[in-house]
Amino acid sequence: MSDFDPRTTPWQIDESEFYEVEGHNAQLAFLLRYAVLAPSSHNAQPWSFAICDEGIAVRADYTRRLPLADPRDRELLMSVGASIANLRVAAAHFGYETTVMYQAREEEDLPVATVAFRETCSPAPELARLFPAITARRTNRQPFEPRTIEDPALSALCDFMDEHGKTLHFVVTHDRERIAALIEEGDRTLMADPAFRTEFARWIRPNVSSATDGICGDAFGIPGPISALGPWLMRQIDIGPAQARHDRALAQGAAGMIVVTAEDDRTSLIRAGESLERLLLMLTSLGISYSFLNQPVEVGALRGELWAMLRSPHPPQLLLRIGYAVRPVAKAMPRRPAESVVAR
């Protein structure tokens, strides 16, 4: 592992190695290399896996929870759902049909789901076609170009959104400015809390680091020498007013905004995370960038205001903007090696 670079090595998967692996369990372990590339809040990667007789048991790693940003573990569970989506997409690419069996009981020591695998000559095409996007997907927190989504991409995206209409919703044009104001207010509220900033600071990493989780400074546009000061600055300074103006501008300049909705129970959140990751892979395959602006969901009163704007019986869980990036993300965020999150 001496040559392991957490920002490059996990993302450089030679898929031909799958066919050199001997044994069913070893092939399932190989598929987990794609599962761990899923997005997660603060890049906390709150998942673990165990290969079992039924397939792969998927667990939520509650030691990686965010008590202030995500006190009810909603984002944590959606992150785990995103890893399941990656696992299923990779499985379809390599010729497996998958079935997800969700655990109804919500004890933290139980798996949230078990994914079963069956070899097939006709894996789900709607999953398999997303496979190339797994290693290409990046969250882009920088400004987007001031142009609309091109018609062919918009048509494909609308079709996908229709298929997931209970979970994914476009923000209508006349609500955009109101939601931008909620984002601004959310930033000011969250960043005014020193405890929230301290929690966030724990997950900020220098641009060059051996850390296998967290968000590196360059994701926020912080250059290398200064990025090491990021955690200290976050703890010491209330950047809420400046961040609020910045994020409001990001929302106003987006080509579109999408809200993820679901009930607050564990299975609904896991399923929402699966739909979310499939959306992100679809966006990536269409050349469309995205980033999250979850501030209105993370502040209780603002979440209620956002929900009142939506045409959904289910509460909002995540908010993201989409558009065409001015600059692509130069380097992926770090990842833990897959073998480190597989129970023995």
pLDDT tens figures, 269-327? 999 999 999 999 999 999 999 999 999 999 999 999 999 999 899 999 999 999 999 99
What b/e readout covers 226-263, taking b as 16+ CB neighbours within 10 angstroms?
ebbebbeebeeeeebeebbebbbebbeebbbbbbbbbe
pLDDT tens digit sequence for 249-261: 999 999 999 999 9
Q: Do residues 79 and 213 lie in contact, with contact meaning Cβ atoms separated by under 8 Å?
A: no
pLDDT(201) > 70:
yes
User: Count of alpha carbons within 13 Å of 21, Cβ hemisphere only?
Assistant: 15
**Can you name the residues that pair with 102 across neighbouring β-strands?**
113
pLDDT(1) > 60:
no
- What pLDDT score does 225 carry? 82
| Numbers of helices and strands, H then E, in the chain | 12, 10
Check the CA dihedral 56-62-68-71 and report its sign. positive
- What pLDDT score does 2 carry? 63
Q: Do residues 196 and 68 lie in contact, with contact meaning Cβ atoms separated by under 8 Å?
A: yes
| pLDDT band at residue 160 using 50, 70 and 90 as cut-offs | very high
Mean pLDDT of 128-156: 97
- What pLDDT score does 314 carry? 97
Q: CA–CA separation, 184 vs 244, rounded Å?
A: 4
Per-chain mean pLDDT for the chain: 96
- Read off φ and ψ for residue 86, nearest 5 degrees: -60, -40
List of residues 6+ apart from 340 with CB closer than 8 A? 212
Pairing of strands 113-119, 55-60: antiparallel
In terms of Cβ atoms closer than 10 Å to its own Cβ (0-12, 13-18, 19+), residue 1 is exposed
Mean pLDDT of 227-234: 88
Nearest by Cα to 60 from 73, 51, 72: 73
Phi-psi region of 247 (alpha: psi -120 to 50; beta: other; left: phi over 0): alpha
Mean pLDDT of 123-139: 98
Name the residue type at position 81. G
* Residue 162, both tokens: 């229709």
pLDDT(66) > 60:
yes
Query: Of residues 232 and 214, which shows the higher confidence score?
Result: 214
Structural domains of the chain, ranges and CATH numbers in brackets: 9-137 (3.40.109.10), 151-192+238-323 (3.40.109.10)
pLDDT(14) > 90:
yes
* Residue 198, both tokens: 């301290």
Question: CA geometry: angle at 279 spanning 278 and 282, to 5°?
Answer: 85
